[in-house]
Amino acid sequence: MNLKYRLLVFLLILGFQFSIAQHNIIPVPVNYEKSNGSFVFQDEIKFKTGNKEIKSLKSTQLFQNYLTNLGISSSFDKKAKGNFISIDLNKKKNSAIGKEGYILEVNDKSIALKANDPAGIFNGLQTLKQLIPIVNSRTIEIQSCKIVDYPRFAWRGLMLDVSRHFFTVDEIKSYLDKMSAYKFNVFHWHLTDDQGWRIEIKSYPKLTEVGAWRVERNGTFGEGRAAPKEGEKATYGGFYSQEQIKDIVRYAADRNITIVPEIDVPGHSMAVLAAYPELSVQKESKYVSPGNKFSEWYGDGTFKMLIENTLNPIDENVYDFIDKVFTEVAQLFPGDYIHMGGDEAYHGYWDENPEVQKFMKKHKIKNSHELQSYFVKRVEKIISSKGKKMIGWDEILEGGLADGAAVMSWRGMKGGIEAAKMGHEVVMTPTTYAYLDYMQGDVTVENKIYASLSLEKTYKFEPVPDEIEAKYVLGGQGNLWTEAVPTLQFAYYMTYPRAFAIAETLWSQKKDKNWDDFVRRTEENMIRFDREGDNIAKAVFDPIVTVYKNDDVVMCKLENNIPGTEIYYSIDNTYPVKFAKKYTDPFMIPAGNLKLHTQTFREGKPIGHELIINREDLVKRIKK
């Protein structure tokens, strides 16, 4: 064979292999083998099963509803010969796929889904939904294939903060629907914080009568929001009744999601103290924070609370309160874990209080970290007495970790590493890879927050650091704090597509992660969001603008991480940029009253935003 011919054969083989791997599933399955042919159906489909319970499984019914929305009617028919979907639980367990895994086979006559457990059936049906192409045609054609799939981690979570903004029962259900489609199985529900207490506790009614409501303020949290005025009515807020919580817990369970409720103590408790000020050290009356400034942050992680928001760790009434609250919480949530927060508890009011100091001396507690540790250990005993395991943010390591506590590492991975080395379970959720409240694109087009986290960086998240044993890492999660997220659709915008990246990190095999292929599948799933009328960020398409100085010359670099795109720009105030310059190399930003216009294109069509940045703002981006 001459060289040219050999090259052609090589390219053909490469192309063939690529087509084998081609599908749009997120998270990428462990094994996908494409085969010849396809399963075609139109208007109607039959289901078949060898297990009676399959028909009554919620996951099967949900899949049937999904088909109905596509205009396809479905019914069970044990005599169906061709053109059916069979769903079966393995009579003999297949140890290769565990509880949540499944095997899905598509050929030209039938689709067969098998799993060991209903959780696997649920996950397999999520994959099957993604195998149905996005077409506006009554004929549906699914490529023949065999998929063997199971998760890498048991804890695949998303956290939603419902205190800073309240989300209704229906909104929570929608959020659960979306996350379950990408095989997340833990919903960490941040139910309490300074800005609102959101769970009905029958033994402390004022928690919701008072603590769930704040005066209404708009605009960004912090300096711009005024404190409540004397006598001003608290009108913004809401809470979930215990009946509503039971309903949501069931709804989640039907979607293979366990809820981990978080009651954040001893800090982040201003809403508790608005209802029961006697549980603080100062016992002064408080209000539920409307997001006004009440703390000062010093840039190194230290801070001062200008208004007391911590529970009193030396007061037995506080432990009585915690016992009663966690009794009710434990009864409502059937999952193994209860989250007790523990983060960012300000110790200043403890340090300044003579009673607290006397108590510390008496009990040989050397400093406020040890005092918090004393508190956390008591909370751990309370939670374990309810038959639950305690998990808390990584501050619970400070002053000594409670036996049996699991740690949620958020200030990087170091807390998780330290806890795992001591033999504790950990969940990795570092700000650097998993904080979904951070901006995902250019500050000029995003809702401005103090930090950024791109989709590509999120995709690089690896929950098991080299220095610890993988068995201690339960998994990870993305966290959506909602100071700047007032609506469900904006919650989707902040969550997706970064949650796709997190889902893939937590479900898929590490070796199968591939950025370029992930982007291709992400784009397909963006179309699914668009079709459902839901918001998803497309910031990943936007140019990444870097400004630096070369001697005294201001230079600008443009890039993005999407294969097959071109970036166009102008610095002469002309637009649209399509008619300006195609970016090749860093260019000079001359002096003058000018703006950079820039946008990414694919095949001549703009994708993503046009960024427009004044010279003055460009210069501010130069790193000192």
Active site residues: 193, 268, 344
Q: Which of 353, 193, 330 is nearest to 263 (CA)?
A: 193
CB of 341 to ligand ACM, least distance (A): 8
- Other CB atoms within 10 A of residue 427 CB: 26
Q: Which of 495, 519, 538 is nearest to 178 (CA)?
A: 495
- Other CB atoms within 10 A of residue 433 CB: 23
Nearer CB in complex with ligand ACM: 151/157 = 157
Sketch the per residue contact string, 25 through 64, with ligand ACM: x for CB under 6 A, - otherwise.
----------------------------------------
* C-alpha pair distances (Å), 121 with each of 93, 124, 150, 230: 13, 5, 11, 56
β-strands 84-89, 102-106: how paired?
A: unpaired
CA-based Rg of the chain, rounded to a whole angstrom?
27
Nearer CB in complex with ligand ACM: 294/569 = 294
Nearer CB in complex with ligand ACM: 343/398 = 343
CB burial of residue 519 (10 Å; 0-12, 13-18, 19+): buried
For 585, the 3-state DSSP assignment is: coil
Nearer CB in complex with ligand ACM: 393/568 = 393
Nearer CB in complex with ligand ACM: 345/558 = 345
Is 393:345 a contact under the CB 8 Å cutoff?
Answer: no
CB of 343 to ligand ACM, least distance (A): 4
Nearer CB in complex with ligand ACM: 393/529 = 393
Which amino acid would we find at residue 451? Answer: A
Virtual torsion, Cα 571, 573, 578, 581, nearest 10 deg: -30
Contacting ligand ACM within 333-362 (CB under 6 A) = 343-344
Q: Is 294 in the site for ligand ACM (CB under 6 A)?
A: no
CB of 409 to ligand ACM, least distance (A): 10
Nearer CB in complex with ligand ACM: 374/393 = 393
Residues facing residue 452 across a β-bridge: 439
CB of 267 to ligand ACM, least distance (A): 9
Nearer CB in complex with ligand ACM: 105/344 = 344
Contacting ligand ACM within 381-420 (CB under 6 A) = 393, 410
- Shortest Cβ contact with ligand ACM: which residue? 343
Q: How far is CA 375 from the centre of its chain?
A: 29
CB of 475 to ligand ACM, least distance (A): 17
CB of 325 to ligand ACM, least distance (A): 20
Contacting ligand ACM within 410-469 (CB under 6 A) = 410
Write 128-134 long-range contacts (CB < 8 A, 24+): 128/63, 128/85, 128/104, 129/63, 129/66, 129/181, 130/24, 130/25, 130/26, 130/181, 130/525, 131/23, 131/25, 131/106, 132/70, 134/524, 134/527, 134/528, 134/531
CB of 408 to ligand ACM, least distance (A): 8
60-97 burial, b for 16+ CB within 10 Å, e for fewer? bebbbebbeeeebebebeeebeebbbbbbbeeeebeeb
For 560-579, the DSSP string reads: -S-TT-EEEEESSS---GGG
Residues in contact with ligand ACM, total (CB under 6 A)? 4
589-602 burial, b for 16+ CB within 10 Å, e for fewer? beeeebbbbbbbbe
CB of 301 to ligand ACM, least distance (A): 11
Sketch the per residue contact string, 66 through 95, with ligand ACM: x for CB under 6 A, - otherwise.
------------------------------
Q: For binding to ligand ACM (CB under 6 A), which residues are involved?
A: 343-344, 393, 410
